[in-house]
Structure 1
């Protein structure tokens, strides 16, 4: 498989990103709410910045930083820090199609978001469904710290357990950048 390219999303990327989201939902059930309106789900008005990953000019992944809208992870972090410190933003809508997994695409998307947030003095939080074990492993490998549990409610009185995380204060250096 060719190398992935991570870049800021553009309007022309929305249809391809929506197609990737539909594919991820079919294979993984993400997002649990479904994908009836994938383009709207990718581009809500709360997005601060978003990125796509592409391989051979095909969009294979996405991540966004969003303004807080009452998420449990935000409340947990504010409680733990007494509301002090840096601006809080939410890392959200991370997905990678199955075919592109195992090639560091998710990690590259996470690093792009983390670098953006760090440059702007933002601390990122997120929630992840406990069923999404690969995502949990990725977050923890990148130094994200669990800050509490939540229940994600959706649909007609449906719910699923979630874990909330906060980003490291300083993003970790990629393994290839470590010097002996």
Structure 2
């Protein structure tokens, strides 16, 4: 009970100069350890050091930032270079396709002329009219017999490529048409 009275007394007498009761109130504050301020200062320094280390870990150094910027710049240059190369390839492809179309049309014209020239009636007409040739007389025609050993053997070059894949055969089928 005495402890309760003392607490109440301190609370009641904190603002007055008159002391109630027979016990004088304490003029000195409760005991505080000698190193409280030093410990608080040490804790504050430690917290500041930890915060500084965390900030340093989270902080991006200038060299890293410059390195990343340079790498990003180099990547952009490489990306643009690739786009330029692709565009140049597309232009050259279009140019080559137009050349191919020109060659195909020239081939078609030449093929038409060739088929016209292989027509036997056309050949006979050209030989008789333009070149002044005439039909041979029956006595001018001589038939000869060539023995088999005098024949020249000719190898087919396409037989060497007989081992073609299914895809090549399909492509060859469409190319022939």
Question: Is the TM value for this pair above 0.5?
Answer: no
TM-score (norm 1): 0.15
From the two aligned structures, give the one with the greater strand fraction: 1
Structure of larger gyration radius: 2
TM-score (norm 2): 0.16
From the two aligned structures, give the one with the greater helix fraction: 2
